[in-house]
């Protein structure tokens, strides 16, 4: 079925105790990609990671100039946050980095990070979140939380950065 943009598919398996579910958002991702294409004249290319250190290694005065997508950044940040939190944890860090910028300090570097995420989503549109539920584990539930921080990690402000993921 569908719920809030998600398509939830139950995967059949032979184990009566296990239930497998795949959550995908291809239609939602296609919408995000089409919206981006309407606002940008850049051709999308294949990307195998949502953000690269290369984004930061190319820091120059040019990259810190005002970007072109600043007026639309809130719209795209909202869409990417929804994807990262609900079905695409692989874009969570890149989206987190992007959400630190606001329209008044949006730069060419932020344009590049947004472009890289959109390219990555187009390249990986068939990826799904795969969940396995085993009813023999009803007495226990484990959640893995991981955090990371980096003192002075933001190249634009020099502020400390942090991130987290829950599985």
44-75 confidence digits (pLDDT tens): 999 888 887 655 555 566 778 899 999 999 99
Query: Which pLDDT band, with edges at 50, 70 and 90, does 97 fall under?
Result: confident
pLDDT value of residue 124? 93
The answer to whether residue 154 scores a pLDDT higher than 80 is: no
pLDDT value of residue 160? 61
Chain centroid, CA 92 distance in Å: 4
Question: How far is residue 81's CA from residue 88's CA, in Å, rounded to a whole number?
Answer: 9
Instruction: Name the residue with higher pLDDT: 87 or 149.
Output: 87
58-72, 81-95, 109-123: least confident range:
58-72
The set of residues, in sequence order, having a beta carbon less than 8 Å from that of 103 and lying 6+ positions away, is 70, 71, 73, 74
């Amino acid at each position: 079925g569908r719920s809030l943009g998600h398509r939830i598919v139950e995967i059949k398996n032979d184990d009566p105790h296990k239930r497998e579910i795949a959550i995908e958002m291809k239609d939602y991702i296609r919408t995000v990609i089409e919206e981006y294409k309407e606002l940008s004249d850049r051709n999308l290319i294949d990307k195998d990671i949502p953000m690269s250190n290369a984004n930061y290694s190319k820091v120059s005065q040019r990259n810190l100039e005002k970007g072109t997508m600043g007026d639309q950044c809130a719209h795209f940040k909202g869409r990417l946050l929804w994807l990262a939190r609900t079905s695409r944890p692989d874009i969570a860090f890149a989206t987190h980095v992007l959400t630190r910028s606001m329209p008044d300090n949006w730069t060419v570097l932020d344009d590049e990070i947004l472009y890289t995420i959109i390219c990555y989503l187009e390249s990986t549109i068939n990826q799904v979140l795969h969940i396995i539920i085993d009813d023999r584990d009803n007495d226990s539930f484990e959640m893995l939380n991981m955090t990371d921080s980096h003192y002075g990690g933001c190249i634009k402000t020099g502020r400390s950065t942090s991130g987290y993921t829950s599985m």
